[in-house]
Amino acid sequence: MPELPEVETVLRTLEHMIKGRRIEHVDVRYAKTVEDDPAVFAKRLAGEHFNGFERRGKYLIFRMDTLTLVSHLRMEGRYYVQKPSDPINRHMHVIFDLDDGSQLRYHDTRKFGRMFLCDKDYDFSHFNNLGPEPFDEAFSQEYIHAYRKGRSGPLKSLLLDQHFVAGIGNIYADEILSACGLRPGRSCRRITKKDEENIVLETRRILTEAIAAGGTTIRTYTSSLGVTGLFQNECCVHSQKVCRRCGSDIHMKFIGGRSSYYCPHCQK
């Protein structure tokens, strides 16, 4: 599943490619992709321009003239900007005809991705009870200390909790905990103030580096917009056989149903 850096990469690439473009027509080829009547969805978007590009957690937010289009890629969602003459395959579920003659195509093999419309100035601060963005001042040592109070679950599950912090997924949770020297199965109750400070610092550092690298291309996910993520070359533990820091064998265990990679030598 694309995580914050991948979604940010898609957003920035789309901003470069389609900012200011007007939607001439929308063809919804798989009705469940849009959380509205497909005909109403298409009619409301006709004539709208792609003006503003934002991200909230793993959601892409497109500010239009009179409304806002929101897209969640889920497991396999991706965008293509192509010519009308390019082949359309059966996994392209929403096609936007743009005023420059190009098409923005939403492709989703698993059909889990969703789009919906909301007000032009909709405030996403507390959208879906998402936690603060990793780069927000609200995500601090004090915040982590208060949030984990009374909790005893594993640290890995805490980082994956979108109500705790928005946008972190499996890959980056492993890398953050590796950088902090903490095992993914360690209890939230058993960390120090210094650990909390390190989680904030390493989360921001790793996500910043991942965004700069264009995200992580692992298994089937790429941005599909001419951008290939390179951060997988920097992963210390996730999907690795040996630790890039000390050379020890990487261990893997399932935590909350998710594969979790760690170095038993570097992580307490």
pLDDT in the model for residue 219: 41
pLDDT in the model for residue 224: 53
Cα–Cα dist 251/263, whole Å: 6
**Full-model pTM:** 0.89
Whether 259 and 252 have beta carbons less than 8 Å apart is answered as yes
**What's the CATH code, domain 141-262?**
1.10.8.50
pLDDT in the model for residue 221: 41
Catalytic positions, written as ranges: 2-3, 58, 258
pLDDT in the model for residue 220: 41
Q: Which fold is adopted by the domain 4-129?
A: N-terminal domain of MutM-like DNA repair proteins (3.20.190)
Whether 97 and 25 have beta carbons less than 8 Å apart is answered as yes
Cα–Cα dist 15/225, whole Å: 11
In the chain, list all ranges with CATH 3.20.190.10. Answer: 4-129
**Which pairs count as long-range contacts for 38-47, CB under 8 Å and 24+ apart, including other chains?**
41/115, 41/117, 44/117, 45/69, 45/96, 45/117, 47/22, 47/23
- Tell me which residue has tokens 């941005």: 223
In the chain, list all ranges with CATH 1.10.8.50. Answer: 141-262
Percent of the chain surpassing pLDDT 70: 92
Q: Show the low-confidence residues of the chain (pLDDT under 70).
A: 1, 214-233
pLDDT in the model for residue 5: 85
